[in-house]
Structure 1
Amino acid sequence: MRSILVVNGPNLNMLGVREPEVYGSETLADIESRLSELALELDLQLEFVQSNYEGDLITKIHEAYATKDGIVINPGAFTHYSYALRDALSSVALPAVEVHLSNIYKREEFRHHSVTAPVVLGQISGLGSYGYELALMALVRYFEEKGE
């Protein structure tokens, strides 16, 4: 069974409350519950982490080295400026998929650039919480194609 770390950055603990017109009405717990159900179907084990602190997320990514098979990450605002988070993802060299609930390219100009995108397999943006499900399926497909 493959093990995937699901990382959520700052303010994602406020889903369902924070700007529902942008991020929807689902809570992070709702998303995690649905992902857990999908993980059973995909024969995956998930570990969830959410933090508003960059260092906590970096530590969890470092701990994933040699213990996890892949990462799904919604870096939140860290997407746009956290070179430390980018370097953590790069250093563990695990296949990762970046997820954004909203379409970051249709929002404010500062949200259009992702410093983490160059070190992940791909990015899913603008499909709401379904993006997390697609990210898990993308990782499964990646493992299949690599023959792992």
Structure 2
Amino acid sequence: MKILVINGVNLNFLGKREKSLYGDKTLDDIINNIKIKAQKYNYEILDFQSNIEGEIVNRIQQAYFEDINYIIFNPGAFTHYSIAIRDALLSVKIPTIEVHMTNVYKREEFRHISVISDIVIGKLTGFGDIGYLMAIEYIKEKEESIDGVY
């Protein structure tokens, strides 16, 4: 099982920015915790972060050729407007879980909009870095269920 974890704009600044919202863990800390969790299930984790929309589109398309089984994706601010990222996800047809560390519905109204929520298999918002681990658990449960149905 190969899972690609993609983090978008400004997430490279985790641990430095708005600690009251995002905590003090760095992106490296979070990725390491994801890898530890995934290792329990023999899942391979590939990770990618970029502040550049086109690089994220390229990485999503590359995933198609790498036989990635799932994408766990925190688009950051790209969530609200990137039709290019949405189209890339639609084109590769890789099951994707959207993750946001903060509860976007308790923040500014513009953050309530996601241009990918209707095309992902699920969305986790407001659980901090644990949301990524919850996504791994979801994948495990889905893969172990009969025909992927609960």
Residue 62 of structure 2 aligns with an amino acid whose one-letter code is: E
Question: What residue in structure 2 maps to residue 9 of structure 1?
Answer: 8
Question: What residue in structure 1 maps to residue 92 of structure 2?
Answer: 92
Number of equivalences: 147
Deviation at 1:15, TM superposition (A): 0.1
Q: What are the within-5 Å matches in structure 2 for residues 14-53 of structure 1?
A: 14-53=13-52
- Determine the C-alpha separation between the residues in 2 that align with 1:42 and 1:76: 27
TM-score between the two structures when normalised by the length of structure 2: 0.94
- Determine the C-alpha separation between the residues in 2 that align with 1:29 and 1:109: 30
Residue 19 of structure 1 aligns with an amino acid whose one-letter code is: E
- Determine the C-alpha separation between the residues in 2 that align with 1:114 and 1:138: 21
TM-score between the two structures when normalised by the length of structure 1: 0.95
Question: What residue in structure 1 maps to residue 72 of structure 2?
Answer: 72
Residue 109 of structure 2 aligns with an amino acid whose one-letter code is: E
Please list the CA deviations of residues 49-105 of structure 1 after superposition, one character each: whole Å capped at 9, or x if unmatched: 000000111111111114201100000000000011111111111111000000000
- Identity between Structure 1 and Structure 2 (%): 46
Q: Where does structure 1 lack aligned partners over 5 or more consecutive residues?
A: none
Deviation at 1:142, TM superposition (A): 2.3
- Determine the C-alpha separation between the residues in 2 that align with 1:141 and 1:77: 29
Deviation at 1:145, TM superposition (A): 3.0
Q: Where does structure 2 lack aligned partners over 5 or more consecutive residues?
A: none
- Determine the C-alpha separation between the residues in 2 that align with 1:144 and 1:84: 33
Question: What residue in structure 1 maps to residue 129 of structure 2?
Answer: 129
- Determine the C-alpha separation between the residues in 2 that align with 1:139 and 1:40: 13
- Determine the C-alpha separation between the residues in 2 that align with 1:128 and 1:64: 25
